[in-house]
Structure 1
Amino acid sequence: MNLQSILGNFALILFILTILTGVIWFLDVFVFAKQRKLVADAALAEYDARREKLSAEGLKLETSNREELKANLMRQPAWIEYTGSFFPVILLVFCLRSFLYEPFKIPSSSMLPTLLVGDLILVNKFTYGIRLPIINKKVIEINQPQRGDVMVFKYPKDMTLDYIKRVIGVPGDKIVYKDKRLTVNGQEVSYKELPDFLDEERLTYAKHYEENLLGVHHEILNDERAPTYVPGVHEFPHSELCTYDLDGFACTVPAGNYFMMGDNRDNSADSRYWGFVPDENIVGKAFGIWMNQNVITNLEFKKLKRIGSFQ
């Protein structure tokens, strides 16, 4: 793993910070604090002996000086105070992000119209099982991804990148995409035409449909100018399970893998191009929008109405 990969892996950075601040916190509680107490006790004993001697000679000392001396002797050094004190906060954030919920920002238009560029979303990290942070190894099985779920996963060709797409096929499914229409296990997916969609980023219109993916209703876009075939070289693990022609493609999803597609069908790099998503690449299930970046940067308050669940 090179430096750029490490800097791009926030979970790893957070883990390292948790370990470093945790070590300092534990050392202070179980080692340094005890050492400070020993030094303080010795200094206070000397102070008390001197005070008793002076008192015997008829001099009276202020008791507040003793408390001030004790506080100074027991005070944490600045480097411990500013590092160890962050440990509980960093630990809490690390646990929340690793096992419960993690925020992501939508960087592209591949999931239009469901998710806009700049949407800030939340991902449930435990829906599909409890995984160890950093290595992403599943240790507790809970649920399996279902057709229609919007899922975040590690890009198979670069595990440092997080992608978000919709689950179209689960293990064993036969996915056929011909003339920009889906068939799953021989059952044709139904479509309801909606008014054309304006892509505000590209300033272009696209054909807009409500897709019924075997009971899961969601919206998709099609670009009439885009070809029906899938261009490019289709070389990826289990690519022998897919066939391509001028009208589209057909794939059978292998065990332990998922077939993903963007809702913006003609502007999405997905399983059609780079293949299946293995179970070990899964990050979690996207379930809600908590803000759109343009509301913050460009004061586009109309996008506040997008806040909430999109499932």
Structure 2
Amino acid sequence: MKKKSIIIEWAKAILFAFLTILIFRILFFEAFTIPSASMEKSLLTGDYILVSKLSYGARLPNTPLALPFVHQHFPFTESSNSYVDWIKIPYTRLFGSTADIKHNDVLVFNYPMDDEHPVDQRIYYIKRCVALPGDTLELRKGLVYINNIYNDVPEKLQFNYKVLLDTDTINSDTLKETGISEGGRMKKNGEYWFTLTCENAEKIKRMPHVTSVQPLFDKKESYCDYLFPENECFLWNIDFFGPIYIPRSGDSVKLTVTDLPLYERIIRKYENNELEVSNDSIFINNKYSTHYTFKMNYFFMMGDNRHNSADSRFWGFLPEDHIVGKAVLVLLSINKSNDQSHIRWNRWFKSVH
């Protein structure tokens, strides 16, 4: 009996610890890893970050019947979902609001184009919030302007540059010392491209044999068919984008067949309406519509690595119900490049800005 009692006590203690950790992850903080270079140099591949759920309110799970600590699929499978979606909780936040989000906050969110899964089970992304609900955003040479006012963080940004040399090789040791990891040769001898911060671009200019360092910007009004909203009426590219209005809850926009591609996904997918177009007339839920009033707030997200980031320029607006929390701290960092791993001690417990 005594042995059975000890087992029961241990089981209770383990269950209590498990539930405590689970509630802590849902309501307070959760750890994530940075899998790509889209936020360099602010966040590096291999960073382990702490995300605050309290900053904008803890979002309750849409799918409460899910295997804890597992996302989307059971371990070692790609087809068996780790959740059931026949019970869903409507979008709800506790102890806060997305109204607390500020320009240039770094957010973790669920990728809105991942339609295969419920919102809380979609892939996690991390980007910088460059535009808030009600803003009008425009990119000029890759830099953010909000309501015609420059509003960016230039010291954190990276762009692709073309580097010309009067010789065919560049000093790789100097590149490593400067922390330059993305780049390579171009077609002609002495031509290279590198992903650089403004500071590193100046360092490259001072290197021996370098004759030119120029950013690789797309031309204004050149059309990229793979960018949002994938419509030839909008001659936008990754460097020159917009102006575009960021929808705010309660605001209305005039609907035309020309502008509809900007808001079609919001109307159909995010706010669950039926949408039809017939003879240049727009029908929402079988009613002829000339305007649409938004139910949710939306945000525009971009990576600091401006030429190497799949962000809102590619997939459009971020709905507020997809936001997980605010990145606040780098817990630890491991560099796994070149098939070797080493710890970046200087990044431990570094705040995220």
Aligned match for 2:44, one of 108, 116, 124: 116
| 1:102 and 2:30 are equivalent in the alignment | yes
| 1:162 and 2:124 are equivalent in the alignment | yes
Distance 1:223 1:145 in 2: 35
Contact 2:41/2:304 (CA < 8 Å) preserved in 1?
Answer: yes
Aligned match for 1:245, one of 217, 231, 236: 236
Offset, 1:164: 0.3
Aligned match for 1:260, one of 285, 295, 301: 301
Distance 1:93 1:258 in 2: 30
2:245 partner amino acid: T
Offset, 1:166: 0.2
Offset, 1:99: 0.7
1:289 partner amino acid: V
For 1:145, the equivalent position in structure 2 comes to: 101
| 1:273 and 2:333 are equivalent in the alignment | no
Query: Which structure carries more relative contact order (alpha carbon 8 Å, separation 6+)?
Result: 2
Structure 1 residues 9-20: aligned runs within 5 Å: none
Between Structure 1 and Structure 2, the one with more helix by share is 1
Q: What is the TM-score with the length of structure 1 in the denominator?
A: 0.62
Structure 1 residues 1-311: aligned runs within 5 Å: 71=2, 75-76=4-5, 84-135=12-63, 137-142=92-97, 143-158=99-114, 159=119, 160-189=122-151, 198-200=179-181, 205-209=194-198, 224-225=215-216, 227-228=218-219, 231-234=224-227, 243-245=234-236, 248-250=240-242, 251-255=244-248, 256-294=297-335, 298=340, 300-301=342-343, 303-307=344-348, 308-311=350-353
Offset, 1:259: 0.4
Contact 2:59/2:92 (CA < 8 Å) preserved in 1?
Answer: yes
Distance 2:214 2:53 in 1: 33
- Where 2:51 maps in the other structure, the secondary structure is strand
Contact 1:168/1:259 (CA < 8 Å) preserved in 2?
Answer: yes
1:141 partner amino acid: G
Change (3 A) 1:148 1:180: same
Distance 2:27 2:110 in 1: 16
Change (3 A) 1:230 1:99: farther
Larger gyration radius, structure 1 or structure 2 = 1
Contact 1:154/1:281 (CA < 8 Å) preserved in 2?
Answer: yes
Distance 2:217 2:10 in 1: 56
196-205 or 266-275, larger mean C-alpha shift: 196-205
- Can you give the 5+ residue segments of structure 2 that lack an aligned partner in the other structure? 64-90, 162-177, 185-192, 200-212, 249-296
- Where 2:335 maps in the other structure, the secondary structure is helix
Distance 2:236 2:62 in 1: 39
Distance 2:223 2:198 in 1: 20
Deviations 1:129-153 (A, max 9, x none): 1321345632443452110100001
What is the RMSD of the two structures over their aligned residues, measured on CA atoms? 3.4
2:218 partner amino acid: P
- Can you give the 5+ residue segments of structure 1 that lack an aligned partner in the other structure? 1-69, 211-221
2:127 partner amino acid: K
Change (3 A) 1:190 1:260: closer
Q: What is the TM-score with the length of structure 2 in the denominator?
A: 0.55
Change (3 A) 1:201 1:92: farther
- Where 1:245 maps in the other structure, the secondary structure is coil
Offset, 1:223: 8.9
Offset, 1:310: 2.5
Distance 2:37 2:18 in 1: 33
Distance 1:271 1:116 in 2: 20
Change (3 A) 1:172 1:230: farther
Percent pairwise identity = 32
Distance 1:84 1:191 in 2: 50
Contact 1:151/1:285 (CA < 8 Å) preserved in 2?
Answer: yes
- Where 2:27 maps in the other structure, the secondary structure is helix
Distance 1:223 1:261 in 2: 22
